[in-house]
Homo-oligomer: A and B are copies of this chain.
């Protein structure tokens, strides 16, 4: 049992410390249903939702970086009412608790979104996303708007560059928990169009910057902290926990290797301790099961249980079909 918001009337409690970050996993996780066992995740966080519907940005939206990617989507989403209509039933029956990410556009819109969610069943909590330049006052007004219109546990996701000040403002205004941090923005040249494109930057090299911010925020936080930024392995995730995070959010590795989300969750949830010794690699690389190699793997009959066997999964057999 991991508390993600300060204990009180309505804490947000999850069973596994691993979840996707907002924007990575769609509005309900259904896009990854064949690749990720959602019952193994601590929660799912939806894509950002606003009061009014928004369309995708114009121009290049996805630009490669060295070991990473710049993404400028423009927060496309159907608006809160249609989102609830489209996804509400699935949220209510989700195998993992659903945290709805609201983009904090204006306090008035946040208020409207929060009261819409308040009337909606089966939502575990709200995560409020701030824009990069949000001032402490703006943070406070948005948080008050959410708290005054909903009893749902409230997480606030702070920008990387102002993580400490924003986290302080957020917890002072009543945030139940903090997500550290939203990825930074950058500008890069899109070689296809020749244009300079601005957007959020992602990659494994983001981890040191985020990890430092988590350490700093954990130092002043009076509420639980969720670490996020560049996590690409279970070891990465553990570094955030060691730095003081109660849980972690996984970002773009979900796009490149969706099953890592489940691998990291199983790993941090201690789930690997229960697996049968000699289990095939694909139990640990979920989704890799239905390949042509499987027939060949099955010739490696699992050895008899051995209590001294190492608990790390065996490597994939290296043989190939002729």
Contacts and interface: CB of A to CB of B under 8 A. Distances in A.
Contact of A242 (B186, B196, B209): B196
Q: Which of A160, A185, A189, A204 has the most CB of B within 10 A?
A: A189
Contact of A205 (B66, B185, B239): B66
A232 to B, nearest CB: 8
A245 to B, nearest CB: 12
A205 B68 contact: yes
Interface in A187-219: 187-189, 196, 198, 201, 203-205, 207-209, 211-212, 215
Contacts of A212: 185-187, 198
A240 to B, nearest CB: 10
A67 B186 contact: no
Contacts of A174: none
A65 interface: yes
A111 to B, nearest CB: 30
Interface in A61-104: 65-68, 70
A204 B66 contact: yes
A186 B203 contact: no
Count of chain copies: 2
Nearest to A211: B187
A188 B161 contact: no
Contact of A162 (B65, B161, B196, B242): B161
A12 B161 CA distance: 31
Interface in A236-270: 239, 242-243
A184 interface: yes
A70 B188 contact: no
B242 A208 contact: no
A179 B187 CA distance: 18
A248 to B, nearest CB: 15
Contacts of A209: 184-186, 201
B196 A201 contact: no
Given A66-B203, A67-B205, A187-B243, 10 more contacts: A65-B205, A66-B67, A161-B162, A186-B208, A196-B243, A198-B212, A201-B205, A201-B208, A201-B209, A205-B205
10 contacts: A66-B67, A66-B205, A67-B205, A161-B161, A186-B207, A187-B208, A187-B211, A188-B208, A201-B205, A201-B208
Interface of A: 65-68, 70, 160-162, 184-189, 196, 198, 201, 203-205, 207-209, 211-212, 215, 235, 239, 242-243
